[in-house]
Structure 1
Amino acid sequence: MFSETRERPVRAEPGQGAPDRYALFQESGCEPLGLDISRPRCRRVSRSQRPRTVLTCGQGGMVIPRTPAEADTIRRIRLLGVIQAQGERANTTSYGVEGFGLRYQLSALNAAIGLVQLDGFQAAEDTRRHLWRTYRDALAPLDGVTLVDVDVEHAVPHLCQVRVPHRNTVFATLRGRDIGVGVHYPPNHTQPAFAAWHRSLPATEQAGEEILSLPFHQHLTDADIVLVVTALEQALKAIGGS
């Protein structure tokens, strides 16, 4: 089953939109959103390893390749088949997926890191909800900017995303000012790995051209958010937007 991840709490239960066939849910995307994956026909496939999520396990694991080609293959497979390194992806609005991939980074040590962080979960939850609301209030006066609603009263946000016109230009302008915006995510159906199943999805493609992730982590301050929103407003005005 292919599904679009949305930052809202959902329950995978009969009668509430759950699939009739067996479904795979990636826990790294579902757990911060409150997804109930206890239904017997739903199988867990991974744990969160992203530093930006509510709880992180870090990233780890080791393979000693025999050849440079083998090393390249392992790197690509372990990062979901994405061919660009994570550092390269930070400076662009898209990336390429050319084949099969897995999220094979977690070790027992990384799992231990995640478990230790459980003690700080409540503080992280409160902080993230406060920061998301602060962004919401600061963004409200900006014309042409649509905040992606995450139902913050019932979910712990791990991203703060907006839809903006001229996204690529705005992205480049903000990165040029050392503001760490990103794109989560380019539409999967446009990737080479899924070319055999490609079909036109106009709404998804439009969202993919507009979506922009603003800096969002629990060490942000309200002043940081004002700085980001001010820079976004200036970038839009420079290109005839807000």
Structure 2
Amino acid sequence: MSTPHFIPYGRQTIDDDDIAAVVEVLRSDWLTTGPAVERFEADVCAYTGARHGVAVSNGTAALHAAMFALDIGPGDEVIVPPMTFAASANCILYQGGTPVFADVDAETLLMDPTAVEAAITPRTKAIIAVDYAGQPCDWDALRAIADRHHLALVADGCHALGASFRGRKVGTLADITVFSFHPVKHITTGEGGMAVTGDKQLAARMRAFRGHGITTTTSQREKSGAWFYEMTELGYNYRITDFQCALGSSQLKKLDGWIAKRNELAQAYAAALAGQDSIRPLRCREDVRHAYHLYVVRSPDRDALFRHLRANGIGANVHYVPVHLHPYYRNVVGTREGLCPVAEAAYRELLTLPLWPGLTEDNILTIMRTITCVN
């Protein structure tokens, strides 16, 4: 069987309002570090309930800024799950810290609080938890652990903009929350990211970090009529442009509708998979609003199913190779197989099926018919 068009696992949705917003900025006086950046930060804060937002060039830059703001350095350990994109752990290495991997829950693939507690040592300084696939972690349990051991708590919410845990939105559940605006995420700025926090000092450190460690921005100096600035920290150029942020603000207006659509499609998948013995979705907690960045299933025949779907024009994918199994981590950090057995066992079965707002229920039926042909 074949399909006439390739169905990607995720993609951006851009409309005329988005294009008009970008064009307006292109015709303005500011292309970077201008008013559209501050407006986007304010818009994300208003949506999430966070007090301060720091927009940066991508989600990885936001993670790095968070580690810098928390003073992670040589000798410090930060606990992180293995079931995530490598950037969640790489940001610790950028600061000279040591990632310590805590295993995940077998049913959700979210960080297991019991494993986190067991991983804490006198050198532990922070916890980074990942809202895998768009489902929030058990943030109450993680907060209790962090407070008991006097640790900073960071939410890698790159999958979870628009999600909530027990009625509280992602963005308010940790000391710092990080978002990504890559094209396959819930909203896009092309490339882009943001760190949000309730702590004014953490926000100020991250804001300086994104601009070379300099105390003021070009627009701030323009407003005050001053030229003088000082570099007080060793920062990076992690700035984001105004036209990217204009796109982000435009996209944010549609986020709730897109999250609702993602949930509808996830329910259609779940209904279609109910009679399948060899393929099953991850468990969704009852106390969350799932953002469904990814629709992840488990199948013991993952590799054969992946090849079959791809051969029939369906862009299945795998998220992720556990970070501690990557060659760099094995060779440089000294991790090994067997460190996180739950994540390792899950990885051998994981498959991501297409899910994005432009997908239709007919697409879901096509995908399910294709799956049925191999099972």
- What TM-score does the superposition give when structure 2 sets the normalisation length? 0.46
Asked if structure 2 preserves the Cα contact closer than 8 Å seen for 1:12 and 1:36, the reply is no
Per-residue CA shift, 1:106-155, capped at 9, x if unaligned? Answer: 54332221111122122212211111101110111111111113348622
Match of 1:82 in 2: none
The counterpart of 1:161, out of the listed 293, 296, 314, is: 296
Q: Secondary structure at the match of 1:24?
A: strand
The CA RMSD measured in Å over matched residues stands at 2.8
Q: Secondary structure at the match of 1:31?
A: coil
Match of 1:198 in 2: 336
Asked if structure 2 preserves the Cα contact closer than 8 Å seen for 1:12 and 1:18, the reply is no
How far does residue 30 in structure 1 lie from its aligned partner after superposition?
4.1
Give yes or no for the alignment of 1:228 onto 2:362: no
Q: Which has the higher contact order (CA 8 A, sep 6+)?
A: 2
Matches within 5 A, 1:50-89: 50-59=182-191
Per-residue CA shift, 1:169-228, capped at 9, x if unaligned? Answer: 211111011101001111111012221133512221111010000010111111110110
Give yes or no for the alignment of 1:8 onto 2:142: no
Percent identity between the two aligned chains: 23
Match of 1:136 in 2: 270
Q: Secondary structure at the match of 1:52?
A: coil
The counterpart of 1:217, out of the listed 342, 356, 364, is: 356
Highest CA radius of gyration, 1 or 2? 2
Amino acid at match of 1:52: V
Match of 1:63 in 2: none
Amino acid at match of 2:181: Q
How far apart in 2 are the matches of 1:117 and 1:194? 36
The counterpart of 1:120, out of the listed 248, 254, 270, is: 254
Structure 2 stretches lacking a partner, 5+ long: 1-78, 82-110, 112-129, 193-235
Quick one: structure 1 residues 53 and 151, their matched pair in 2 at CA, closer, same or farther if it must change by over 3 Å?
Answer: farther
The more displaced of 116-125 and 19-28 is 19-28
Aligned residues: 193
How far does residue 37 in structure 1 lie from its aligned partner after superposition?
4.3
Amino acid at match of 1:162: V
Match of 1:43 in 2: 176
Asked if structure 2 preserves the Cα contact closer than 8 Å seen for 1:161 and 1:211, the reply is yes
How far does residue 168 in structure 1 lie from its aligned partner after superposition?
1.2
Amino acid at match of 1:27: G
Matches within 5 A, 1:94-105: none
Asked if structure 1 preserves the Cα contact closer than 8 Å seen for 2:189 and 2:244, the reply is yes
How far apart in 1 are the matches of 2:358 and 2:281? 21
Structure 1 stretches lacking a partner, 5+ long: 61-101, 237-242
Quick one: structure 1 residues 226 and 106, their matched pair in 2 at CA, closer, same or farther if it must change by over 3 Å?
Answer: farther
- Structure richer in strand, relative to its length: 2
How far does residue 16 in structure 1 lie from its aligned partner after superposition?
4.7
